[in-house]
Amino acid sequence: MKREPYIVANWKMHKNYEEVVSFIENLRREEALLARNSVLIAPAFPYIYPAAKAARGSPILIGSQNINDKMEGAYTGEVSALMVRECGGSFTLIGHSERRHFFHEDNHWINRKVHAAFRIGIRPILCLGETLKERESGNTENVLKKQLLEGLEGVEEDKAGYLLIAYEPFWAIGSGKSATADQVEQMHSYCRMVLGELWGKEVAKKIPILYGGSVNAGNAKALLIEKNVDGLLVGGASLSLDSFKKILYDGDLNS
Ligand code: PGA
């Protein structure tokens, strides 16, 4: 049986204070939608605290788009998992493709961040995905496997229950060209198989695998009904409350 989908808003470097707070104040009134979806919002670092305050008492969870792997120290411009938690964050994206490509994060650094999130008790959402070149050269599965195995190295089975995975092909992000539901299902079931090799099938079954990359109101449902799609990570279409609400699932996934 499918549970409520995880719908994660990744606001990237968008929105000001007013916009963050009013979005959440309005969204929290949508009780019927919030009962059918697990809604997570990742604003920019300075807005985690006001966002968490606006969401307090509602089921909306607030988190960050990144963390550093260290707890504290002389790392100018960086933010630790502990700081995110103290500001009211309960999850973090890790290894988003924009971090991998623009900020040169590799699987080993990403792995240390995953451990840091677990150590502090915020849920890591490990993001992975292939470039167009990797897909066209038939390397997608190898790339995903490496990102999973290296990104999750040393993570014990008892932690796996807190982990989320987000499959986001680089070519689909912000391009308006989402992967098809078939392509997504295929890659998600492949990722689940790799997770099964790591921790066994029963554990792998319970790890939510989300899809991201040009998700919008028009394609969200077709993606969510796929067997191995447990949620969506939404960038551009999460910025307006209206389009975000249309992405939230309003029916019964089992019907
Ligand atoms: P997009 O971004 O929905 O704008 O393609 C998704 C993401 O980067 O997480």
Cβ pair 152, 114 in contact under 8 A: yes
From the CA of 127, give the closest atom in ligand 1. Answer: 9
Nearest Cα neighbor of 184 from 172, 200, 199 is: 172
The answer to whether the CB of 168 is under 6 A from ligand 1 is yes
**Taking 70 as the threshold, does the pLDDT of residue 178 lie above it?**
yes
Band the pLDDT of 252: cuts 50, 70, 90.
low
- Ligand 1 center to 175 CA (angstroms): 9
Judge if the beta carbon of residue 196 lies within 6 A of ligand 1. Answer: no
pLDDT in tens, 98-137: 999 999 999 999 999 999 999 999 999 999 999 999 999 9
Question: Best mutation site among 177, 210, 234, 243 for ligand 1, i.e. most ligand atoms within 8 A of its Cβ?
Answer: 234
Q: Is 72 a catalytic residue?
A: no
Q: 232 CA to middle of ligand 1, Å?
A: 10
243 lines ligand 1 (CB under 6 A): no
59 pLDDT more than 80 = yes
What's the helix, strand, coil split of the chain in %, to 5? Answer: 45, 15, 40
Cα 176 to middle of ligand 1, angstroms: 9
The pLDDT tens digits for 68-98 are: 999 999 999 999 999 999 999 999 999 999 9
Q: Please, which residues have CB within 8 angstroms of residue 186's CB and are 6 or more apart in sequence?
A: none
pLDDT score for 28:
98
Residue owning the nearest CA to atom 7 of ligand 1:
235
In the set 96, 98, 134, 188, the catalytic residue is: 96
Determine if ligand 1 sits within 6 Å of the CB of residue 238.
Answer: no
- Of the residues 98, 168, 185, 188, only one is catalytic, namely 168
Closest of 105, 87, 89 to residue 97, by C-alpha: 105
* pLDDT tens track for 198-218: 999 999 999 999 999 999 999
Instruction: Check pLDDT > 80 for residue 48.
Output: yes
Q: Is the pLDDT reported for residue 255 higher than 60?
A: no
- For 24, the enclosing helix (H) or strand (E) is helix 17-27
Return the residue whose CA atom lies nearest to atom 3 of ligand 1.
235
The atom of ligand 1 lying closest to the CA of 98 is 8
Which of 50, 106, 91, 78 minimizes the C-alpha distance to 210? 91
Q: Are 53 and 59 in contact (CB under 8 A)?
A: no
| Percentage of residues of the chain with pLDDT beyond 70 | 98
**Is pLDDT at 53 greater than 60 in this prediction?**
yes
215-241: per-residue pLDDT in tens? 999 999 999 999 999 999 999 999 999
**pLDDT tens digit sequence for 14-23:** 999 999 999 9
Q: Is 168 considered catalytic here?
A: yes
pLDDT tens digits, one per residue of 137-161: 999 999 999 999 999 999 999 999 9
Give the containing element (helix H, strand E) for 245.
helix 241-247
Instruction: Work out the number of other CB atoms within 10 angstroms of the CB of residue 193.
Output: 14
Nearest Cα residue to 214 out of 194, 195, 232: 232
Q: How many helices (H) and strands (E) does the chain have?
A: 13, 8
Q: Give the Cβ contact number of residue 50 at 10 Å.
A: 18
